[in-house]
Chain A
Amino acid sequence: MPRKIRGIDEKPRPINGNLAERLADELRNSRESGQPMVEEEAFAAGKRGVSVIWDAWDRLSFEERTSVILKAYELAEGHEYRETIALASGLTVPEAYAAGMLPFQIIPALRRGDAVTLEQCHQAMIKEGASTLFGADKPQLRFATEEDAEAVRKRLLQALPGSDQVWVITQEGGKVEDWVER
């Protein structure tokens, strides 16, 4: 009778090589803004959790995304570092937004006579990490904190001189039950 014993790490993991390389590059050369947004959190015993918000995850399963993140860390930081990752999650911007993780948003509030066009605003937003998954002609620039949003607003002002009055930071109000429980 054949006796097969499968260990935890022995099952083949689907890896999208290209995405892992791209993410590894981002990890090596961290930028001030834009996608992917990578957040690491320290856990007990030297372990860490990694969360990567990136529209490139679209069409990949959660399981594949986790595999890509682990592979990217192995490429960028080495096997030992990768072994410290206890939890790895990949979400697109719309998914992170739906989960309530990106309550702040920068929107272009254009008026007649402003020095910039809507098209210029959209291009600048996309450069700063706006998601086009909500609709190709409706990029959305979303953030976890007001500080993050404010930092990008300053960068948008630099990128588009004369847009001082254009950029508005808004915050989702949350659900009624959230307020009741506060």
Chain B
Amino acid sequence: MPRRLLNRCNQDSIREYRAAARQRFDDALAMATAGAPRRTGAIYLWGYSIEMVLKAAYFSLIGLPETRVIGWGTDLRPAIHRGRAMGIAWPSQGEGHNVRAWAELLVRERALLPATIFPAPFGLEVQRQGQRVEQLWRETLRYRKNYAYLYEMRQMHEAAQWFLGNAHAL
């Protein structure tokens, strides 16, 4: 008998984040371009796509192997603590999903070494894109019945496209 979906899933890792980020991006695109577009649903999925791109970039930067399992207590929470210690405003509510904070952590962590620091305009753009997403997306959107405006969906699409398109440079 074939294994069920949840049993077929791998655990979180950089590789899994990257692959899933692309898939959720495409899922969102399908929702956004459907005959009757599901705008809020599309935004919801694009947010996760961006979150995974950023997490993959961060954990790759600090040297985690591609397939090493990423856990809450072992990796995510220590990264959040590190971000706070670096002076990043990281509210505790939904802390694992704060895209703006993850973007700033990535910029900040890269700034520790001359070899890894982003060129100034690009680093600021990473931060700016994260800030823009923070205005449009929160993981709690799944509990909301509101319909997103077209321009909101367009902004989120642009941001997700930007992060995926620049994933190699993050």
Interface residues of A (CB under 8 A from B): 8-9, 39, 41, 43-45, 47, 49, 51, 61-63, 66, 70, 83-89, 91, 95-96, 98-101, 175, 181
Contacts and interface: CB of A to CB of B under 8 A. Distances in A.
Contacts of B88: 89, 99
Interface of B: 81, 84, 87-92, 100, 104, 107-108, 111-114, 116-118, 120-125, 127-128, 131-132, 134-135
Main secondary structure of the interface of B (DSSP, over half): helix
B111 A47 contact: yes
Given A8-B122, A44-B114, A99 B107 contact: no
Contacts, number: 81
26 contacts: A8-B121, A8-B125, A43-B117, A44-B117, A45-B117, A47-B123, A49-B87, A61-B131, A62-B100, A62-B131, A66-B127, A70-B124, A84-B120, A85-B120, A86-B107, A86-B117, A87-B124, A89-B88, A89-B89, A89-B127, A98-B91, A99-B88, A99-B89, A99-B90, A99-B91, A101-B87
B114 to A, nearest CB: 4
B94 to A, nearest CB: 13
A87 B90 contact: no
Main secondary structure of the interface of A (DSSP, over half): mixed
Which of B81, B88, B132, B134 has the most CB atoms of chain A within a 10 A radius of its CB? B88
A82 to B, nearest CB: 9
A91 B89 contact: yes
A112 to B, nearest CB: 39
